[in-house]
Amino acid sequence: MARKADEPLVLGIETSCDETGVGIVRGHTLLADAVASSVDEHARFGGVVPEVASRAHLEAMVPTIQRALKEAGVSAKDLDGIAVTAGPGLAGALLVGVSAAKAYAYALGKPLYGVNHLASHICVDQLEHGALPEPTMALLVSGGHSSLLLAPDITADVRPLGSTIDDAAGEAFDKIARVLNLGFPGGPVIDRYAREGDPDAIRFPRGLTGPRDPAYDFSFSGLKTAVARWIEAKRAAGEEVPVADVSASFQEAVVDVLTRKAVRACKDEGVDHLMIGGGVASNSRLRAMAQRRCEDAGIILRIPRPKLCTDNGAMVAALGAEMVARGRAASSWDLSADSSLPVTEPHVPGHDHGHGHSHDHDHFHELSKDNLYS
Amino acid sequence: MLLLALDTATPAVTVALHDGDSVVAESGEVDARRHGELLLPAVDRVLAEAGRKLADVTDIVVGVGPGPYTGLRVGIVTAATFGAVLSVPVHGLCSLDGIAYAAGQAGLTGEFVVATDARRKEVYWARYADPRTRLTEPAVDRPAELTEKLAGLTAVGAGAVLYADAFTDVRADLPQHQSAAALASLAAEKLRTGGEFLPDQPLYLRRPDAQVPANYKVVTPK
Ligand SMILES: [Zn+2]
C-alpha cells in the first residue's frame, strides 16, 4: 500500500470506557470528532458499570462511525488506515471497538493499528499545538489514570516515570462528589463549586510529597479519607458543610501535587515542554496553576481544549496517523483487546513485521489476564 | 447470492459462506475466551477457501444469541460493520435456531428442546415443534427448574449435555455447538421462502450486573 509520508488520513475508534468515540484526522489536522457517551446511564450507579458501557458501545458503534465520516466530509475508501484503542481499559468495552475496527479495516482493505489509550491521550495534542516535541513530558490525569510519562517517540518509546499508587485523580473527584452528594461524574461539579470557595480554607494533606517519598508517584487515597473525615465531623457536630470551601480546598490539594511533581519531572529530565491530558486536564484550577508554575520554571505548557482531553476517537486517530507517517507495522487480524496493555507499548504491531497483516495463525498467543466474561 | 454467516453467541466461533444452493466454505472453532481474536481470521480463511472476496457478499447473517454478553457482541458488531461498509442487509437469527436446524440436518424429527450453556449454572433454551419451528421465546433458567416443564422431550445442545441430569433424552450424538453453516442454510431457506429474521440486536435475556453503591462508606472510626 502506498504510504503518504506526511499527512495520512486516519479514522480512530475509542471504546475503552464509557465514551464511544470516532475521530478522523489528516496528519495533525482534526476533521471529525464524534462521541456518543453513556455517562448518564452510569450516573445513578456513581461510577461506570462495565456491562452497561459495553452494551451502549455496541448500539452506538456503527452510527458514530457514519457520523464521523459525514462530519469529516471524506470517503471511507480514501482512508490510509484504521486505528483503535487496543488497551488499557474495560475488557468488554474495548472488545466492541476492536471488533468493529477490524471489520471496518478488513472490509475497506485498509491497515489496522491497535494503539495504546495513554499514548493517544498524549498524541492528541498534535491536533491542537502541532508536532510533539521530542522528548515530550506528559502528565495524564483522568478517572482511570494519573501518570507522569516521558515519551522520546510517541509511536515507539514511552517511559513511565511515576503513577498513582492508589486512586486516580479523577476517581478522587468522583468520591468526594459522592460524599458531598453532588452526583457523578464529580470533576466538573467540584470545579464549579470550587470557583466560589476559598482554596486555603482547609489545609488538606498533600500525598507523597515528603522528602523520602517517590518523586513522581501520586497518592490520593489519604486525601480522600481526610476530606471525608472532615465532612463527617462537621455533620456530626450538626454544622452545615461549606461545600464551596471543601471543594476548593480539596481541588487545591490535588492540583498542587500534580503540578508540583510534573514541573519537578521536567526540571529533573531537562525537558522544556509539559503536556497535560486526560479528563482532569479540563479542570480550570489545574490549567491555571500549571500555567503559572510552568511560566515560573520557563516551561512551555501544552494542554488541548477540554473536548480533546476527555476520551475521544480523535486522539486514537492522531496516534494512528503518526504510526502511518512513521511507517510502523500494522496490527494483525487477530489483534486482541488487552485490558492491561502496558504504557510502554504505544501500539500492538502484527507478528509478521513489514508485511502488515499476518496470515499465520499458528503462533503462541497469550491470553489477557482478565477473563473477558467476568 | 452469497451469504456470509457468523455466530459468536456460544463458545463456538463459527463462520460460513453460502451461495444460495449450498455451503461453499465453513469454519468452526470452540474457544470461549478468544472470540475477538478468532473471528476475523476465520472470515478471511473462509473467503479465501471459497476463492471469494468480502465485496462479493450480498447478505450477512448473524446469530444474535442468546449468549454470554462479551463474546456475543463480537459477532454482532462485526456483522453490523460489514453490513454498513458493503451496504448489504444484516439478518439476525436466534442462535438456538441454528442448533435446532443442524439437529434436523442430522436426522432429528418431532418435538425437542435446544439448550446452550448460559454460565452461572443456567442454560439458554427454547422448545421446537420441528427443526424449523420454534415454539417458545428463548429463555434463561436453572436446569433443575426445567426438568418438570420439559419432561419427556428430546434435548440437544451443549447446555443439555452439560446438565444431562436435568433433561430427559439428551442427544449427545447430535451437534452440540453452533455451526454457521447450519445458520447460513436456514437463512438461505428463509430468504427463498420469505421467512422472517430478527434485527441484528443482541438477545441478552439478562439485565446488566450493576451494583448501585450503598451510600458512601463512612470512614470515621466509630
Ligand atoms: Zn482516558
A117 is in an annotated binding site: yes
Residue A78 is predicted with a pLDDT of 96
B101-113 per-position pLDDT tens digit: 999 999 999 999 9
Q: What is the pLDDT of residues A261-312, one digit of tens each?
A: 999 999 999 999 999 999 999 999 999 999 999 999 999 999 999 999 999 9
Q: What is the DSSP secondary-structure string of B65-130?
A: -S--HHHHHHHHHHHHHHHHHHT--EEEE-HHHHHHHHHHHTT--SSEEEEEEEETTEEEEEEEEE
Distance in angstroms (rounded) separating the CA atoms of residues A25 and A13:
12
- CB pair distance less than 8 Å for B85 and A178: no
Half-sphere exposure of A88 (CA within 13 A, CB side): 11
Q: How far is the CA of A61 from the centre of ligand 1 (A)?
A: 18
Amino acid identity for residue A302 in this structure: R
pLDDT, residue A41, reads 86
Could you tell me which residue, B179 or A371, shows the higher pLDDT?
B179
Q: pLDDT at position B68, please? A: 85
Confidence of residue B211 (pLDDT cuts 50, 70, 90): low
Whether residue A1 lies within 8 A of chain B, CB to CB, comes out as no
Domain boundaries, chain B: 3-95+177-193, 96-166
Q: B162-167, long-range: CB within 8 Å, 24+ apart, which pairs?
A: B162/B117, B162/B123, B163/B115, B163/B123, B167/B113, B167/B115, B167/B143
Beta-carbon-side half-sphere exposure of residue B137 (alpha carbons within 13 Å): 6
* Chain B touched by A45 (CB under 8 Å): yes
- Cβ neighbors of A110 (< 8 A, separation 6 or more) are A79, A80, A81, A82, A104
3-class DSSP state for residue B156?
Answer: strand
Residues of chain A contacting B74 with CB distance shorter than 8 Å = 95, 99
Q: Note whether A206 and A163 are within 8 A (CB).
A: no
Sequence-distant (6+) residues with CB within 8 A of B129 are: B111, B135
Domains B3-95+177-193 and B96-166 share a fold: yes
Q: Given this model, what pLDDT does residue A362 score?
A: 32
A237 touches chain B (CB under 8 A): no
For residue A278, how far is its CA from the centre of ligand 1 (angstroms)?
A: 5
pLDDT single digits (tens) B42-83: 999 999 999 999 999 999 999 999 998 789 999 999 999 999
Can you give the pLDDT at residue B69? 78
Tell me the per-residue pLDDT of B190-201, one tens digit each, with 9 for 90 and over. 999 999 999 999
Question: Using the beta-carbon criterion (under 8 Å), do B220 and A229 form an inter-chain contact?
Answer: yes
Q: What strands lie across the sheet with A300-302, from one edge to the other?
A: A157-163, A146-153, A136-141, A273-277, A300-302
- Run of H or E including A315: helix A313-325
Q: So what CATH class is A9-128+309-326?
A: alpha beta
| A52 CA to centre of ligand 1 in angstroms | 18
The model's pLDDT over A247-258, given as tens digits with 9 standing for 90+, comes to 999 999 999 999
What CATH number was assigned to the domain covering residues A136-303?
Answer: 3.30.420.40
For residues A138 and A278, is the Cβ–Cβ distance under 8 A?
no
pLDDT greater than 50 at residue A217: yes
Cα gap B28→B177, rounded to integer Å: 9
Residue A364 has pLDDT above 80, yes or no: no
Find how far residue A15's CA is from the centre of its chain: 11
- Cα separation, A153 vs A59, in Å, equals 36
Which CATH number applies to B3-95+177-193: 3.40.190.120, 3.30.420.40, 3.40.50.2300, 2.160.20.80?
A: 3.30.420.40
pLDDT tens digits for range A95-153? 999 999 999 999 999 999 999 999 999 999 999 999 999 999 999 999 888 999 999 99
pLDDT of residue B41: 98
Window A:318-347, CB contacts with B under 8 Å: 333-337
What pLDDT score was predicted for residue A5? 54
The bridge status of strand A136-141 relative to strand A146-153 is antiparallel
**ipTM for this prediction:** 0.94
A134–chain B nearest CA distance, Å: 34
Task: Using pLDDT thresholds of 50, 70 and 90, give the confidence band for residue A352.
Answer: low
What values do phi and psi take at A248, rounded to 5? -65, -40
Which of B7, B53, B216 should be substituted to probe chain A, the one whose Cβ sees the most A Cβ atoms within 10 Å? B216
Domain range summary for chain A, segments of one domain joined by +: 9-128+309-326, 136-303
Query: Whole-number mean pLDDT of chain B?
Result: 94
Q: Write down the mean pLDDT value for chain A.
A: 92
pLDDT of A2? 43
Residues B114 and B186: their CA atoms lie apart, in Å, by 16
Residue B166 DSSP SS3: helix
Whether residue A99 and residue B39 make contact (CB cut-off 8 A), yes or no, is: yes
Q: What is the pLDDT of residue A356?
A: 42
Q: Which three cell numbers stand for residue B70?
A: 462479551
User: For residue range B24-46, what is the model confidence (pLDDT) as tens digits?
Assistant: 999 999 998 999 999 999 999 99
pLDDT at A371 over 80: no
Q: Residue A184 has what pLDDT?
A: 86
Distance between first and last Cα of chain A: 40
Closest partner CB to B208 (pick from A49, A65, A228): A49
| A165 and B CB contact within 8 Å | no
Q: Chain centroid to CA A151: how far?
A: 15
- CATH number of B96-166: 3.20.20.70, 3.30.420.200, 2.30.110.10, 3.20.20.140? 3.30.420.200
The average pLDDT across A47-76 equals: 95
The confidence band for B131, taking pLDDT boundaries of 50, 70 and 90, is very high
